[in-house]
Amino acid sequence: MSIEIRNIAKRFGNFVALDDVSLSIPTGELVALLGPSGCGKTTLLRIIAGMETADEGQVMFEGSEATHLHARERQVGFVFQHYALFRHMNVFENVAFGLRVKPRKERPSESEIRKRVMDLLSLVQLDWLADRYPTQLSGGQRQRIALARALAVEPKVLLLDEPFGALDTKVRKELRRWLRRLHDEMHISSVFVTHDQEEALEVADRVVVMNKGRIEQVGSPDEVYSNPASPFVYQFLGNVNVFHSRVHGAWAEVARDDVPAGQEAVAFIRPHDIDIDTVATPESLEAKVSYVQTIGPLVRVEVIHQGELVEVELTRERQQVLGLTAGQQVWLKPRQVKVFANGEGAVAPAQAQEKQPFLF
């Protein structure tokens, strides 16, 4: 089922949780709502689920108005951050709940319920836990039961609120891949909320980056990572070096005080987008190595350029060639830079798409 969100606004007292948010989610996609806490992502999810009512705007399901549809009529499966399993029911009864509360006419027979629940439990690979109570399960198991319970009513949309937030790293990675496979098998639209960029980039078809109640960017994981639409997205997704620069038309000058002031701007360069060399090349910046550290397959080099710390990531092979040590004189050259006017969005999106001509 496709979901369309039109101009949704939501305030809690003076706090603006969502500010004119529009988004469309085509059928069958797995979408991540990504952002820091308080950015409105959970509120948006709860509005889609009907748990929360928007102050303004519309929610459309499959092209038809659903804004005022009650949560129980929306046919959405909702998975809560802290699972919200019914603590006095065993696993079987938890999953069966949605079937048992159906009106008598639609309610499946007891044997059908049994079969459906056991099928779902084997889908989440926990059929051996049917008689246990929620308190006897580990966090990962609870999460999978919560998912099975949400799927029991055959929802058209699956909504997950920080589904892996309370789990430890190893279980989290496993469940992530498992959710992806499950989504592909079920042929439904799924939306999940997360504050973990790695999670969003790894699992989702599309990532919606949110900040302060607004959508900053919507795109494939690769798009939002390699082509961030705003300084916020740049900084939220991955490490970045920030240079305060000036812009003259399409030309940016980074950190050169003797040039007359143009428009205030900021340049962003990812640590792995910087070339480092031991000899000066044209248009390169002089710097001094302050620290070299090998982290797994990468080598992180911290250099000082005009009093500012710049982070550079190299492959092990490159470091073997260069043999950098602390105190050494080096020259930097960015491969890819993105410049944004200070305090605003991109200077000019059209130009920002390409590599900025840079003058050092």
Partner 1 sequence: MSAKKNNVLPGFGLALGYTLVYLSVLVLIPLGGLVLKSTALTFAQFWDIATTERALAAYRVTFGASALAAVINAFFGLIVAWVLVRYDFPGKRLIDSFVDLPFALPTAVAGITLATLYSTNGWIGKYLEPLGLKVAYTPLGIVVALTFIGLPFVVRTLQPVIEDIEPEVEEAAATLGASRWQTFRRIIFPAIFPALLTGFALSFSRAVGEYGSVIFIAGNMPLISEITPLLIISKLEQYDYVGATALAVVMLGISFVLLLAINGLQWWAANRHNNRNTGGEQ
Partner 2 sequence: MSVRRANTEPAWVRYTLLTLAFAFLALFLGVPLAAVFAEALRGGWEAYVNGLLDPEARSAVTLTLAVAAIAVPLNVAFGIAASWAIAKFEFRGKSLLITLIDLPFAVSPVIAGLIFVLMFGAQGYFGPWLAEHDVKIVFAVPGIILATLFVTFPFVAREMIPLMQAQGKDEEEAAVSLGASGFQMFWRVTLPNIKWGLLYGVILANARAMGEFGAVSVVSGHIRGETNTLPLHVEILYNEYNAIGAFASASVLALLALVTLVAKTLVEWRMRAETAMLTAELPPEKTN
Characterize the bridge pairing of strands 3-12 and 56-61.
Answer: antiparallel
**163 sits near partner 2 (criterion: CB under 8 A):** no
**71 sits near partner 2 (criterion: CB under 8 A):** yes
Q: Please identify, using beta-carbon distances, which residue of 127 and 311 lies nearer to partner 2.
A: 127
Q: Please identify, using beta-carbon distances, which residue of 59 and 201 lies nearer to partner 2.
A: 59
DSSP 83-116: ----TTS-HHHHHHHHHHTS-TTTPPPHHHHHHH
**131 sits near partner 2 (criterion: CB under 8 A):** no
**277 sits near partner 2 (criterion: CB under 8 A):** no
Encoded tokens for 271: 């640590």
**15 sits near partner 1 (criterion: CB under 8 A):** no
| Beta-ladder partners of 206 | 31
Q: By C-alpha distance, which of 233, 231, 235 is closest to 218?
A: 233
Among 52, 127, 196, 223, binds partner 1 (CB under 8 A): 52
Name the 3-class secondary structure at 270.
coil
CB atoms closer than 10 angstroms to residue 357 = 11
Selection from partner 1, partner 2, none that 52 binds (CB < 5 to 8 A by kind) is partner 1
Q: Find the radius of gyration of the CA atoms of the chain.
A: 25
Q: Which stretch binds partner 1 (CB under 8 A): 46-54, 163-171, 197-205, 335-343?
A: 46-54
Q: Which stretch binds partner 1 (CB under 8 A): 44-52, 104-112, 123-131, 220-228?
A: 44-52
Q: By C-alpha distance, which of 123, 39, 135, 56 is closest to 91?
A: 135
**71 sits near partner 1 (criterion: CB under 8 A):** yes
Distance CA 231, CA 266 (A): 8
Q: Please identify, using beta-carbon distances, which residue of 49 and 129 lies nearer to partner 1.
A: 49
Q: What are the distances in angstroms from CA 36 to CA 18, 164, 212, 243, 255? A: 14, 15, 9, 23, 30
**80 sits near partner 1 (criterion: CB under 8 A):** no
**Nearest 5°: CA angle at 251, between 210 and 256?**
95
Selection from partner 2, partner 1, none that 174 binds (CB < 5 to 8 A by kind) is partner 2
**334 sits near partner 2 (criterion: CB under 8 A):** no
Distance CA 346, CA 84 (A): 42
Selection from partner 2, partner 1, none that 97 binds (CB < 5 to 8 A by kind) is partner 2
The residues that touch partner 1, with contacts defined as CB under 8 A, are 12, 50-53, 70-71
> Interface residues with partner 2 (CB under 8 A)?
49-51, 71-72, 74, 76-78, 80, 82, 84-89, 97-98, 101-102, 125-126, 128, 135-141, 149-150, 152-153, 167-168, 170-171, 174
